[in-house]
Structure 1
Amino acid sequence: MKRAKLSFSNIILIIACLVVVVSILFLNVINTRNIITLKNSIDTLSIENKNISILRTASDVLLEGELMFTRFTQTGEVSLSKLSATSIDKAIEHLKVLKMESDSGRAAQITLQLNKEQSLPKMIAEFELFSKGLKENQVDPTNRREVDSLSSILAKYNQQLKGVLVKEDAFRENLNATIFKNAVTGTDVIQKFFWVSLLIILFIVGVLVYNIYKMVNYENEILEARERALKLAQVKSRFLSNMSHEIRSPLTAIMGFTEIIDKIEVDTEKKNYLHAIKTSSEHLLSTVNDVLDFSKLDAGKLKLEKQPFYIASAIEEVAFALSSTSAANKGIKVDSIIELDKNLAVKGDLFRLKQILYNLLSNAIKFTEKGNVTIIANISGTTEKQVMVKIAVADTGIGIPNDQIKTVFEEFTQVTNNSTSKDTRRAIKGTGLGLSICKMLVELQGGTIGVESKLNQGSVFTFAIPYEVANDKVANEKELTAMNPISSSLKDKRVLVIEDNDVNIMLLTMLLKKVGIVYDIAKDGEIGLQLFKDNNYDIILTDINVPKLTGDEIAIIVRQYTDEAKRNIPIIGLTATIVQDDLDEYIASGINEVLVKPFKQDELYATIEKYLY
């Protein structure tokens, strides 16, 4: 079994999708990091550091206290002294807060800068003494020396605070520049990500459009191929139908007259000639049947029957038929080892089982020049409702080379053995369909088939088919014939025969005369329909492919006739086709039963009698 291969465009699409997934994941990681950095930068720009705010507030209230103290020294008003003390107390509060946070983050950096000129604890202590002196009126505004000393303390510390603030402002400017640069970089990355993503998406869209275009072309090609295949199938079916008709129609006359003459001829030499004609006709019929069966099997149109039959009896009948004809002619013995209960009845397709056995057995006889052919049948498995019937056909023939064993079940295949003489190889001919048909038929019934072979020693073909067990007793063909002999009461029955082939007319009239049936002949459908209207008949025998009105068209008209008795007259169709669809159409048109040419005279009599009694 061949594995489906990916097309080049499908491979490109898969690779593109993988690249897109990896790229998008990678770019998303980078983009997420840049977005987070950008967000942090924006937060940093929009929110001032808390410790810087504390220091700035302390500097502002200290400056306010310094101004109040200066006005106090100028005016001597005690209220100004109190206001100055209040401002200094506020500055002390802020400095104490900054001192408490000096172990974390930016506060530690600020404290370190303050301590370069004067330690923060000492600064707080001096401010507390200063504030206390102002509150207790211990400062004399007229004492210029004391006033100047106190003013210089305030100015010095205020300048120290402002110096730290200047440095912090410079730091913040540098930080803002860095943040702005990061923001610009992040924006560039986002833009690049957008353009890269857009290009990748456009590439994927292009690949998808290309694949859709290819898919549409493939679908159109498939639809065109399907239409061509349907037309070829119709031509093939019609060709097989026509071929079947053109070959089987003359075979009907050949085999029919051969059978009639064979029953009345007593001369041995002439009977041998008749036997040769009969054998050749049967071989030609078998070849046509093989081709048609293979066609139906190949198209899946072959339908299996499911009727009860004795399986041991079926095997014995095929073995006996071939042992007394083709095997006897070559001096080959056919042995049967049937390890089955003779009363074992199963439900299945008896005709197809015989066809498989006939093909395998005749194939074994064909490739065997001396020795014997053996049929071995037994039960390989059972259940409550089914039995697995296993049948082997062994021969002592030329065998199959190892390099050809795998191909023996292929259609139109012929085994060739290089060690076999040219004359023998030339004599072994056929359609090459027998084994292929066997394999198809076995597998269609849910079974298996295989072969084992040794060169110049022989081959063993084995198949197994599951059959449903039939509970009711089944009458075999001999019993049915004994129970239902051809009645002599067919004499004087009136039959309308619609047939355009003179040879087939001659054959049918001879067979009808033989049992005393009265008949009228019509060579086209219109004449036949007129005879039907003008006369009373017991049954109609009509070929399907007659001129003017075909057999199925006649049946449709008859089934719509006003006279009920005539409307229900039995109609037997005669055709050379075995295409099941055509046969179903004939039955649907109102034909009671279809006899496929070539048919035996007993089949014709039994079918007529079936609808007259």
Structure 2
Amino acid sequence: MKIQQAAQYINKWSGSETLLNAQLKLFTLMLSANVLKGGIYLYDAIYRHGGEGSGRAVRLMVTSVVIIFVLRKFPKIIQWGIHYAVLATIAHVYYRAFNKSVGLDAVTMQAIIMVIISAFYGLGKKWGTVYTLIAAASTLLIHYIKFRFTGLIPLPQHLNDIYIAVNWVVILISHLYFHGVLYGNLKASKILSLQLAEAAQAKTNFLSTMSHELRTPLNSVIGIAGLLISDDANSKQKEQLDVLKFSAEGLLTLINDILDINKLDAGKLELESTPFSLTLLLNGIGRGMEFKAHEQGLKFKFFMDEKLKDKSFQGDPSRLSQVLYNLIGNAVKFTEQGEVSLITEVMNQDGSNYIIRFKVTDTGIGISEEQQKLVFDPFQQATASTTRKFGGTGLGLAIVKQLVEMFGSEIKLKSKIGDGTCFYFDLSMQQVEQKVGDELSETRDQGEKNLSSLRILLAEDNMMNIYFMKQLFKRWNISADIAENGTEVLEMLKDADYDLILMDMHMPVMDGMQATEQIRKLADPSKAGVHIIALTASVSDQIQKRVISCGMNDYLHKPFQLDELRAKLEARLYSNAY
């Protein structure tokens, strides 16, 4: 069923009915039937009994009309009206059941069924059960209680049959109506689920598209700013370039936070499991955040337990870094004077399994007990004045909380207003023997390699990124060819040999994945096996799988760090040498 057709269905009476409207319609029907049945009794009282019993019939009719009017005028008291109607019907059941002239006839049994319908549909399971048991008990009690009422005169057969027929019609319509309401709303819920799924997918597609469109120009902005900063610029120009680069990186952080919180909420973010050097990771974070703290005139203290030094662990280093960067970044932001500390210590060790506490403390403004309950919610900060003074979206701690929970831990907080804040969490981490990072350290010690011998083809359609990459390659003494779409890549590959293709994923005419698939089918093995690194601004959860499945060897997210790209180029140069 199409969503538009489904929406039309929702608007039909059965699917769009609220419970209150349904209850009002049900009891309007029943009370209207009472008016009709009262008319039958009034007719019989006047024409067969000289008016005897007409008062009871008139009371039934008038009471029913009054209740209909009151419920229509004041629908919010529907529950009280239902209770009254159900109790009145139960009283009618007992009056008939214990009457000498009537007893447990068809009308009495119909009245019990109406009690069940009214109580369950109108008052819910609890009261429905209570009133059903009370009404149904009459069918048993008449065998044990000898008392009987007098004064109720049975209707003649033809009028009694009409009375019974009216009751059956009311019972049938009630069930048909509530069946329609129930199943209509069930279908409406399914349709709403479809619409929500479509909306969620549309949101994901929108974020993915916007990510690509925002990250692509940011790649050239951050990259060119970095190149200019490395030039011999005067102090004023350098200050302005630092502001430009800082602002662009701030925008990138915001984009990443929004995308991460969306992934976390959708349950699509997964942790990696790879060996990494905790020493290298923490030293890198410490050096980076020490510089940021010093810029604000703060001291930065870094302590790592001796038991952790030169140890490698299995886990997700990028997400652990993200958590620590967020916590330390927040601490620096909300501390005007004093110090910020990163402390890592072993809480327990059992063989190769370590319980490690990561703690970030500051001497900042602190957080009140009330606000401590809110700071981990998305888009929340301690106070509105905090947001005005310090800025930010309030996403950082929400991401931290969910990432730490994905690690199987819990983020904890100690703070007092004006007395600083301490965030900490304990991670269970498995030590591994692999000496990760040694090769990287050795490469750094040897200095930068000469990349001029690399034959590179850059596939990129964004002119600013092309300009940035040309300037970067010029500094690295690389002479690269440029293709603006996948078709041009294939044409240029026919006429030249390359050590490496830097392939943008999104290009006109033929995109990077389609071009790669065509390259892998080439008859010449040296051309078909060319090393391809994807350059992508996409944040799709499946990007790595898609890159590998189409035949690419590696990928870099835009905007990338210059060191990341250089490391991959040097690795390719190293592999060529062997």
- Alignment TM-score, normalising by the size of structure 1: 0.64
Q: Find out whether 1:339 has 2:305 as its counterpart.
A: yes
Deviation at 1:604, TM superposition (A): 1.7
Aligned AA for 1:461? F
Question: CA–CA distance in 1 between the matches of 2:425 and 2:395?
Answer: 17
- What secondary structure sits across from 2:394 in the alignment? coil
Deviation at 1:447, TM superposition (A): 0.8
2:227 alignment partner in structure 1: 260
- Pairwise mapping of residues 22-61 of structure 1 onto structure 2 (< 5 A)? 27=139
- Indicate how the Cα distance of structure 1 residues 203 and 472 shifts in structure 2: closer, same or farther if over 3 A, else same: farther
Q: Find out whether 1:561 has 2:522 as its counterpart.
A: yes
- What secondary structure sits across from 1:291 in the alignment? helix
Match of 1:570 among 495, 515, 531: 531
Does the CA contact (< 8 Å) of 2:506 and 2:536 recur in 1? yes
- Indicate how the Cα distance of structure 1 residues 12 and 303 shifts in structure 2: closer, same or farther if over 3 A, else same: closer
Deviation at 1:356, TM superposition (A): 0.9
Aligned AA for 1:509? K
The CA deviation string for residues 516-565 of structure 1, in whole angstroms up to 9 with x for no partner, is 43422122222222222333322221211211111111112222333333
Aligned AA for 1:569? V
Match of 1:603 among 548, 564, 567: 564
Deviation at 1:587, TM superposition (A): 3.0
How many residues were matched structurally? 439
Does the CA contact (< 8 Å) of 2:461 and 2:507 recur in 1? yes
Deviation at 1:417, TM superposition (A): 7.7
Deviation at 1:358, TM superposition (A): 0.9
- Pairwise mapping of residues 3-82 of structure 1 onto structure 2 (< 5 A)? 9=121, 12=124, 15-16=127-128, 27=139
2:555 alignment partner in structure 1: 594
1:403 alignment partner in structure 2: 370
Unaligned runs of 5+ in 2: 1-18, 21-119, 146-164
1:53 alignment partner in structure 2: none
1:460 alignment partner in structure 2: 422
Match of 1:359 among 306, 319, 326: 326
- Pairwise mapping of residues 363-442 of structure 1 onto structure 2 (< 5 A)? 363-416=330-383, 426-442=388-404
- Indicate how the Cα distance of structure 1 residues 275 and 477 shifts in structure 2: closer, same or farther if over 3 A, else same: farther
- What secondary structure sits across from 1:521 in the alignment? strand
Question: CA–CA distance in 2 between the matches of 1:21 and 1:417?
Answer: 56
- Indicate how the Cα distance of structure 1 residues 396 and 403 shifts in structure 2: closer, same or farther if over 3 A, else same: same
The CA deviation string for residues 249-296 of structure 1, in whole angstroms up to 9 with x for no partner, is 122112222222333325333333332222222222212211111111
Aligned AA for 1:334? F
Q: Find out whether 1:524 has 2:485 as its counterpart.
A: yes
Does the CA contact (< 8 Å) of 1:312 and 1:340 recur in 2? no
Q: Find out whether 1:218 has 2:185 as its counterpart.
A: yes
1:545 alignment partner in structure 2: 506
Question: CA–CA distance in 1 between the matches of 2:293 and 2:454?
Answer: 43
1:493 alignment partner in structure 2: 454
Moved more, 377-386 or 588-597: 377-386
Aligned AA for 2:235? T
Two-structure CA RMSD over aligned residues (Å): 3.3
Match of 2:407 among 445, 448, 455: 445
Does the CA contact (< 8 Å) of 1:386 and 1:467 recur in 2? yes
Moved more, 208-217 or 525-534: 208-217
- Indicate how the Cα distance of structure 1 residues 435 and 329 shifts in structure 2: closer, same or farther if over 3 A, else same: same
Deviation at 1:357, TM superposition (A): 0.9
Does the CA contact (< 8 Å) of 2:374 and 2:381 recur in 1? no
The CA deviation string for residues 329-378 of structure 1, in whole angstroms up to 9 with x for no partner, is 22111112333521332211111111111111111111111111122222
Does the CA contact (< 8 Å) of 2:302 and 2:342 recur in 1? yes
The CA deviation string for residues 72-96 of structure 1, in whole angstroms up to 9 with x for no partner, is xxxxxxxxxxxxxxxxxxxxxxxxx
The CA deviation string for residues 197-246 of structure 1, in whole angstroms up to 9 with x for no partner, is x9999999988766654442233222222222222222212221222222
Question: CA–CA distance in 2 between the matches of 1:25 and 1:385?
Answer: 70
- Indicate how the Cα distance of structure 1 residues 445 and 199 shifts in structure 2: closer, same or farther if over 3 A, else same: farther
Question: CA–CA distance in 1 between the matches of 2:440 and 2:299?
Answer: 25
- Indicate how the Cα distance of structure 1 residues 352 and 200 shifts in structure 2: closer, same or farther if over 3 A, else same: farther
Deviation at 1:462, TM superposition (A): 1.6
- Indicate how the Cα distance of structure 1 residues 28 and 204 shifts in structure 2: closer, same or farther if over 3 A, else same: farther
Deviation at 1:425, TM superposition (A): 6.2
Q: Larger Rg: 1 or 2?
A: 1
- Pairwise mapping of residues 220-259 of structure 1 onto structure 2 (< 5 A)? 220-259=187-226
Moved more, 479-488 or 347-356: 479-488
Match of 2:470 among 493, 498, 509: 509
Match of 1:304 among 236, 255, 271: 271
Aligned AA for 1:586? V
Match of 1:273 among 219, 223, 240: 240
Question: CA–CA distance in 2 between the matches of 1:20 and 1:550?
Answer: 69
Does the CA contact (< 8 Å) of 1:309 and 1:476 recur in 2? no
- Indicate how the Cα distance of structure 1 residues 483 and 396 shifts in structure 2: closer, same or farther if over 3 A, else same: closer
Moved more, 244-253 or 212-221: 212-221
Does the CA contact (< 8 Å) of 1:398 and 1:417 recur in 2? no
Question: CA–CA distance in 2 between the matches of 1:539 and 1:215?
Answer: 63
- Indicate how the Cα distance of structure 1 residues 409 and 498 shifts in structure 2: closer, same or farther if over 3 A, else same: same
- Pairwise mapping of residues 197-212 of structure 1 onto structure 2 (< 5 A)? 212=179
- Indicate how the Cα distance of structure 1 residues 223 and 481 shifts in structure 2: closer, same or farther if over 3 A, else same: farther
1:137 alignment partner in structure 2: none
Question: CA–CA distance in 1 between the matches of 2:520 and 2:180?
Answer: 55
Question: CA–CA distance in 1 between the matches of 2:435 and 2:171?
Answer: 72
- Identity score, percent: 34
- What secondary structure sits across from 1:526 in the alignment? helix
Aligned AA for 1:335? K
Moved more, 352-361 or 8-17: 8-17
Does the CA contact (< 8 Å) of 1:400 and 1:417 recur in 2? no
Question: CA–CA distance in 2 between the matches of 1:20 and 1:407?
Answer: 47
- Indicate how the Cα distance of structure 1 residues 525 and 343 shifts in structure 2: closer, same or farther if over 3 A, else same: closer
Deviation at 1:594, TM superposition (A): 1.6
Question: CA–CA distance in 1 between the matches of 2:491 and 2:125?
Answer: 73
- What secondary structure sits across from 2:436 in the alignment? coil
1:126 alignment partner in structure 2: none
- What secondary structure sits across from 2:534 in the alignment? strand
Does the CA contact (< 8 Å) of 1:542 and 1:571 recur in 2? yes
Match of 2:254 among 268, 287, 311: 287
